[in-house]
A and B are shown apart, each in its own frame.
Chain A
Amino acid sequence: MSVDAVGEAPPPQSVQPAAPPAPAGPAPAPRGRSLWDDARRRLRRNPAAMISLVVLGVLVAAALFGPAHWVHPVDTLYRDRVAIPPTLENAHWFGTDAQGRDLMARVLFGLGVSLLVGLVATAVALAIGVLWGAVAGYAGGVTDMVMMRVVDVLYTIPFIFFVILLMATFGSNIVLIFVAIGAVEWLTMARIVRGQAMALKRKEFIEAARASGASPLQIITRHIAPNVVGPVIIYATLNVPVVILAESFLSFLGLGVQEPLTSLGQLIATGAREMERAPWLLVIPALVMFATLLCLNFLGDGLRDALDPKDR
């Protein structure tokens, strides 16, 4: 999932081409198409989701193009203007931080990093989770038992322990934050997909595919994986905010993104320490983070309502 896809088009549209043509199974193709059409129509009728989509588009655009075009570079120190409140003077609209860096530039940059962490970590979680869950659910029996037991075992390792150790072992770098958070979040995804896969594999079109000699791998990649797209999208949208929050927790521990990079979580963790003296350092990044998470949640809810046939 790229950054643009979220900003410019509703995810169902961008996913639509991936919906299965499923030559071996006559049933799912037409049903799938009407499902997606319906979903899109329902999503369009949901004002909260549509507004969120627009706001997210604006935020993503700001994060993509803001840092390069904003008057202040992200790492310039204005030594005579340390920790000044928001002002129009010198175009410090959001004020400056404790080292004299423009907060607007920091927030734009941090927003980009946070979105990137959220998206990449979610993508990692999706890749592992979907594959793991689909294989387990489809294979069943001992394979399923073993694979799900592995998931259970990983569930019992406290998340933060895992991340702290990864950060400590390899040093806190941003790629590792993606992988570490993604590697934890895939567990839920695997469970969801497994459930779907188990339900699907008894369906006629899978039976038909198997009868016509498709290998298990083909069945998983061509029939099962595409059919769990609905729940996966919902989960993914709702997972991005979770990851962004997790990153802020890491920043609070000093294990998140390191200087001179920054993220919304990092800005908020720093701002929380300064809130009595320089409230704007907390309030502004917190509002941006709040708006981002709120929109992602509204969008996720909207998608769930749109894609969930029970709600029809």
Chain B
Amino acid sequence: MVELVARRLMVAVPTMLAVILAAFFLMRAAPGGPFDAERALPPEILLRVEQAYGLDLPVHQQLFAYLGDLVTGDFGPSLKYKDKSVADIIAEGLPTSLLIGSASIVLALGVGVGLGVWAALRQNRAQDYSVMGVALIGVCVPPLVMGPLLQLLFGVQLHWLPTGGLQRDRYAIQHLILPVVTLALPQIAVISRLMRAAMIDALRSNAIRTARAKGLPEAAVIVRHALPVALLPIVSYLGPAVAGVLTGSFVIERVFQLPGLGSQFVVGALQRDYTLVMGVVILYAALIIALNLAADLLYRVLDPRVRG
């Protein structure tokens, strides 16, 4: 296991470098710069501004300067948000992203695994079909429709929940329910379907037959023997699920007015805030690499075949 971690970390360095390079060059290749707006800057001001951020240098020099700063942990100033550094902005957005991201992954796992197992145990009965039907709705209704609908229903019509935001300057559960649920719904759908299929497979395996033949109680068979095996596909789906939550969160953050990184990233890309976009991409890439590693480790713990 130590070897796996070491190997992954060794690969992580070139991976990060490749991500940085790709992002850097794609960003510079995009037309329109950070200072193109309705009000065009007079040439003398534009020149000064570009000099201030080193954007007048040849691209390779910009790259080396950026990498040099990065090594010392400096993400640079934001090109659009003039009073803040990229590190400031990320530090202000990350807690919300992590909070709604992890809450919806936990919710999706809890509900998804539960529904999947339940449906599998009642395979081809009415409950199974209804659960899977509902799961399909989750896949087929995009969050950009679900979010406003939930706001309208629970916020405007019923007045049960706030329609978004935080509680002024602190986090509050009732404000986070709608966004987390909206973000989790598509993942619940996918996870419950995966779980159902995996559980059906597991229940048919020889190991389960043996366990049953030994006369173990059915509950023990399911929890101790079938479930660990059936969870494997879920574990390997965690990587994509996290990526899905990260990208999905843009719509959620926008509709529910949450200060997360998803919208910082998209708005940054649209505004050509090179440094901010780079910062968020690097953070996302590191996050995804770390989570993939964590998922692999978990996989090893769960899967007896790989464990040896």
A touching B, CB within 8 angstroms: yes
Contact of B281 among A157, A166, A269, A282 (CB under 8 A): A157
Asked if A161 and B140 sit within 8 Å, CB to CB, the answer is no
B201 at the interface (CB under 8 A from A): yes
Q: Give the CA-CA distance A268 to B140 in the complex, in Å.
A: 12
CB distance from B12 to the nearest CB of A (A): 9
Contact of A157 among B19, B32, B144 (CB under 8 A): B19
Asked if A168 and B144 sit within 8 Å, CB to CB, the answer is no
Asked if B23 and A149 sit within 8 Å, CB to CB, the answer is no
Asked if A153 and B18 sit within 8 Å, CB to CB, the answer is yes
Chain B contact residues: over half helix, strand or loop, or mixed?
helix
Name, among A152, A161, A297, A298, the residue most crowded by chain B CB atoms within 10 Å (CB to CB): A161
Q: Give the CA-CA distance A165 to B25 in the complex, in Å.
A: 10
Given A156-B285, A293-B139, A294-B140; A164-B23 close (CB under 8 Å): no
Chain B residue nearest in CB terms to A157? B19
Q: Give the CA-CA distance A165 to B27 in the complex, in Å.
A: 7
CB distance from B113 to the nearest CB of A (A): 19
- A residues 237-291 near B (Cβ < 8 Å) are 241, 245, 248-249, 252-253, 265, 268-269, 272, 275-276, 282, 286, 289-290
Interface string of A141-158 (1 = CB under 8 A from B): 000000001001101111
Asked if B26 and A165 sit within 8 Å, CB to CB, the answer is yes
Chain A contacts for B284, CB-based, 8 A: 156, 158, 161
A91 at the interface (CB under 8 A from B): no
B266 at the interface (CB under 8 A from A): yes
B246 at the interface (CB under 8 A from A): yes
Asked if B145 and A282 sit within 8 Å, CB to CB, the answer is yes
Chain B contacts for A153, CB-based, 8 A: 15, 18-19
Asked if B145 and A161 sit within 8 Å, CB to CB, the answer is no
Chain A contact residues: over half helix, strand or loop, or mixed?
helix
Asked if B266 and A160 sit within 8 Å, CB to CB, the answer is yes
Chain B contacts for A155, CB-based, 8 A: 239, 243, 288, 292
Asked if B139 and A149 sit within 8 Å, CB to CB, the answer is no
Given A158-B284, A161-B23, A275-B152; A168-B269 close (CB under 8 Å): yes
Chain A contacts for B265, CB-based, 8 A: 158, 160-161
Asked if B141 and A286 sit within 8 Å, CB to CB, the answer is yes
Interface string of B2-26 (1 = CB under 8 A from A): 0000000001001100110011001
Chain B residue nearest in CB terms to A282? B145
Name, among B22, B140, B201, B284, the residue most crowded by chain A CB atoms within 10 Å (CB to CB): B140
Asked if B148 and A157 sit within 8 Å, CB to CB, the answer is no
Q: Give the CA-CA distance A298 to B133 in the complex, in Å.
A: 10
Given A155-B288, A293-B139, A310-B201; A169-B30 close (CB under 8 Å): yes
Contact of B139 among A162, A165, A241, A286 (CB under 8 A): A241
Q: Give the CA-CA distance A310 to B200 in the complex, in Å.
A: 11
B250 at the interface (CB under 8 A from A): yes
Asked if B19 and A269 sit within 8 Å, CB to CB, the answer is no
Chain A contacts for B14, CB-based, 8 A: 149
Contact of A156 among B144, B149, B289 (CB under 8 A): B289
Asked if A272 and B247 sit within 8 Å, CB to CB, the answer is no
Chain A residue nearest in CB terms to B269? A164
Q: Give the CA-CA distance A156 to B291 in the complex, in Å.
A: 11
CB distance from A231 to the nearest CB of B (A): 14
Chain B contacts for A268, CB-based, 8 A: 142, 144-145
- Beyond the given A149-B11, A165-B30, A294-B136, please list 4 additional residue pairs across the A-B interface where CB-CB is below 8 A: A156-B19, A160-B247, A268-B142, A310-B201
A-B contact pairs, 6 of them (CB 8 A): A152-B15, A155-B288, A161-B23, A241-B139, A248-B142, A268-B142
Nearest 7 CB-CB pairings of A with B? A293-B140, A168-B30, A156-B285, A165-B26, A252-B144, A164-B269, A156-B288
